[in-house]
């Protein structure tokens, strides 16, 4: 057995792999060397090991990057420059546009109040107009209220039940 393991160990070095040993690659129609296959596999293996070192869900290793702790500025935020951060920025831009569009629709169909002159509209009227624009009216209204752009009574608005609730444009 000692001779077999020694001969295998000797053949595992790159210098001992015969260069002319080639395999026919049917998909590309060209020849691929064993050495090239081995190098590609080792490259992939190394990249995967590096990825797993930074993977917080990996059972084998702990992440080598400093993970923000609760209370720090970066806690709960995606890594700078990541695709997740970019998707979040894109979503924020999209929602901001929808909130601005909602405010414009309220200005267009709303009527000024006698008391303070702010524009107001009933939810039922807004729903009928806005349903052709977007099916996310209540979510956009909640977002606009969080940004202190509109105000209305209650936590949630329901079609039919809350048609008479007045929505006031604050800005």
Local structure of 22: helix, strand or coil = strand
Structure tokens at 30: 């060209």
Mean pLDDT of the chain: 80
- For position 61, what pLDDT does the model report? 56
Q: Given this model, what pLDDT does residue 114 score?
A: 81
**pLDDT tens column, 78-106:** 888 889 999 999 999 999 999 999 999 99
pTM above 0.75, yes or no: no
Domain definitions of the chain by residue range? 17-66, 86-169
- Environment class of 144 (CB within 10 Å of its CB; exposed 0-12, middle 13-18, buried 19+): buried
Measure the CA–CA gap between 163 and 108, rounded to whole angstroms: 18
pLDDT score, position 7: 46
> pLDDT at residue 70 above 70?
yes
What DSSP character marks residue 119?
E
140 closest CA partner among 112, 100, 109, 110: 100
The whole-number average pLDDT for the span 32-42 is 88
- Rounded to whole angstroms, the Cα distance separating 129 from 73 reads 41
Q: How confident is the model at residue 164 (pLDDT cuts 50, 70, 90)?
A: very high
Collapsing DSSP to helix, strand or coil, 24 comes out as strand
Task: Give the residue from 111, 95, 96 showing the smallest Cα distance to 166.
Answer: 111
- Residue 105 CA, chain-centre distance (Å), reads 29
What whole-number percentage of the chain has pLDDT above 90? Answer: 40
Q: Residue 125 — very low, low, confident or very high, per pLDDT cuts 50/70/90? A: very high
In contact, 154 and 161? CB cutoff 8 Å: no
Q: What is the pLDDT of residue 108?
A: 92
Percent over 70 (pLDDT), the chain: 76
Give the fold, CATH level 3, of 86-169: Arc Repressor Mutant, subunit A (1.10.10)
What's the average model confidence in pLDDT over 44-48? 92
Rg value, the chain, Cα: 31
pLDDT at 11 over 80: no
């Amino acid at each position: 057995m000692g001779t077999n393991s020694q001969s295998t160990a000797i053949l595992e070095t790159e210098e001992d792999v015969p260069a002319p040993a080639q395999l026919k690659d049917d998909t590309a129609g060209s020849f691929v060397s064993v050495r090239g296959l081995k190098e590609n596999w080792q490259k992939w293996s190394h990249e995967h090991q590096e990825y797993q070192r930074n993977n917080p869900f990996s059972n084998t290793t702990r992440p080598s990057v400093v993970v923000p702790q609760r209370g720090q500025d970066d806690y709960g935020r995606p890594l700078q420059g990541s695709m997740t951060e970019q998707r979040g920025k894109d979503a924020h831009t999209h929602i901001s546009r929808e909130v601005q569009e909602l405010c414009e629709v309220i200005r267009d169909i709303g009527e000024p109040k006698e008391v303070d002159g702010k524009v107001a509209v009933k939810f039922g009227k807004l729903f009928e107009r806005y349903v052709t624009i977007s099916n996310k009216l209540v979510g956009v209204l909640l977002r606009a209220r969080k940004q202190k752009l509109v105000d209305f009574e209650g936590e949630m608005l329901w079609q039919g039940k809350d048609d008479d609730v007045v929505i006031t444009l604050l800005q």
